[in-house]
């Protein structure tokens, strides 16, 4: 029975993986978070992994406070960078496959066509630099697959959708930036895609191909468009007004365009990806 270890499993993606795992029989899932394995602790991580001897590891653990990372870059680097090295060192020389999650914020946003996995990376923020360091450490292991995702939301944890639903119910109006374009990702869709890859490889439907992959939902929008859709779908009356990023100062600089080309994951692993609006509607119905 294939053994699958999930780290950082109390977050958005980890919880969605826990839900999706219920559809997969014949796999031995081990869900952990910082209280079971603190992945910044190299000795404890190595010992846990040596004892479990997983066939697959999916690392969902991360430091995701994009603005706070500007004032504590070491903390972000420790969890998003060094801790990934701890995992790859623990599985060095083994056949274990490692799926590590990264971000669209490794791209600088200067493009106006979708980024593919060969596009130059040039993060604008401490968070993006720490995630890029994690990618480099992940790739030290030959059996690593990096999935860059974007604008993640879910029923679980804190995210833009839940914030808009809360503010939309409390406030008469909101200002949301309209000059940053990207694509939201429903974490349940990403969790489903990850399990499709794992189960497809285990069942020999397709070969495991290490390397970097992009995954978000389909389509493009600004945070403003996303907010409008959330408010309308939830039937809220709040007025959403567009604002330029320069008039909405945040500690971390963000890419103004981070749309990703997902052809590689779709073709290599036969994955179909829903449009962001379709998935948003699904998620809001579950939240409400
Ligand atoms: N959220 C987004 O919009 C977004 C966008 C692009 C990419 N991503 C990437 O997608 C992945 C999943 O993100 P997510 O939103 O599901 O993250 P999340 O909700 O923040 O969950 C991360 C989990 O990791 C745990 N964790 C933190 N430090 C840890 C440590 N040292 N050892 C073990 N666990 C630790 C966290 O615990 P605590 O809560 O106690 O800290 C939390 O339960 C991450 O790699 C993230 O960088 C996210």
Q: Is-catalytic flag, 215?
A: no
Whether the CB of 260 sits within 6 Å of ligand 1 = no
| pLDDT on residue 139 | 98
Give me the percent of the chain exceeding a pLDDT of 90.
99
| pLDDT on residue 200 | 97
Residue 60 has pLDDT above 90, yes or no: yes
pLDDT category of residue 174 using cuts at 50, 70 and 90: very high
| pLDDT on residue 169 | 96
Kindly report, residue by residue over 124-136, the tens digit of the pLDDT.
999 999 999 999 9
Q: What is the pLDDT of the chain when averaged over all its residues?
A: 97
pTM, entire model: 0.98
Closest residue by CA, ligand 1 atom 12: 60
Ligand 1 atom closest to 158 (CA): 19
Tell me what the mean pLDDT of segment 245-274 comes to. Answer: 97
pLDDT category of residue 288 using cuts at 50, 70 and 90: confident
Tokens 């804190």 belong to: 158
Mutate to test the pocket of ligand 1, among 8, 86, 158, 184 (most ligand atoms within 8 A of CB): 8
Whole-angstrom Cα distance, residue 287 to residue 53? Answer: 36
Kindly report, residue by residue over 87-118, the tens digit of the pLDDT.
999 999 999 999 999 999 999 999 999 999 99
CA–centroid distance, 128 to ligand 1, in Å, is: 14
For residue 288, which of 231, 241, 237 has the smallest C-alpha distance? 231
pLDDT category of residue 237 using cuts at 50, 70 and 90: very high
The residue from 63, 105, 115, 127 that is catalytic is: 127
Tell me what the mean pLDDT of segment 178-203 comes to. Answer: 98
163 contacts: CB under 8 Å, gap ≥ 6: none
Whether the CB of 7 sits within 6 Å of ligand 1 = yes
Residue 43 has pLDDT above 90, yes or no: yes
């Amino acid at each position: 029975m294939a053994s699958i270890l999930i780290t950082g499993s109390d977050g958005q993606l980890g919880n969605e993986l826990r839900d999706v795992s219920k559809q997969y029989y014949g796999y031995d899932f081990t869900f952990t978070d910082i209280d079971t394995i603190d992945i910044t602790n190299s000795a404890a991580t190595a010992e846990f992994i040596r004892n479990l001897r997983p066939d697959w590891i999916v690392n969902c653990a991360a430091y995701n406070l994009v603005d706070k990372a500007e004032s504590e870059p070491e903390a972000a680097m420790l969890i998003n960078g060094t801790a990934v090295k701890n995992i790859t060192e623990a599985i060095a020389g083994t056949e274990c496959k490692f799926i590590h999650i990264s971000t669209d914020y490794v791209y600088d946003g200067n493009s106006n066509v979708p980024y593919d996995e060969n596009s130059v990376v040039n993060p604008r923020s401490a968070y993006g630099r720490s995630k890029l360091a994690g990618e480099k450490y992940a790739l030290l292991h030959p059996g690593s697959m990096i999935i860059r995702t974007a604008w993640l939301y879910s029923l679980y944890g804190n995210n833009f959708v839940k914030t808009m639903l809360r503010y939309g119910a409390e406030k008469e109006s909101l200002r949301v930036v309209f000059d940053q374009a990207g694509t939201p990702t429903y974490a349940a869709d990403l969790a489903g895609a990850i399990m499709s890859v794992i189960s497809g490889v285990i069942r020999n439907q397709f070969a495991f191909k290490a390397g970097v992959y992009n995954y978000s939902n389909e389509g493009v929008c600004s945070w403003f468009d996303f907010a409008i859709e959330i408010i309308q779908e939830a039937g809220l009356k709040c007025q959403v007004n567009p604002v330029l990023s320069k008039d909405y100062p945040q500690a971390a600089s963000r890419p103004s365009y981070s749309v990703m080309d997902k052809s590689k994951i779709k073709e290599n692993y036969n994955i179909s990806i829903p449009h962001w609006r379709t998935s948003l509607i699904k998620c809001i119905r579950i939240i409400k």
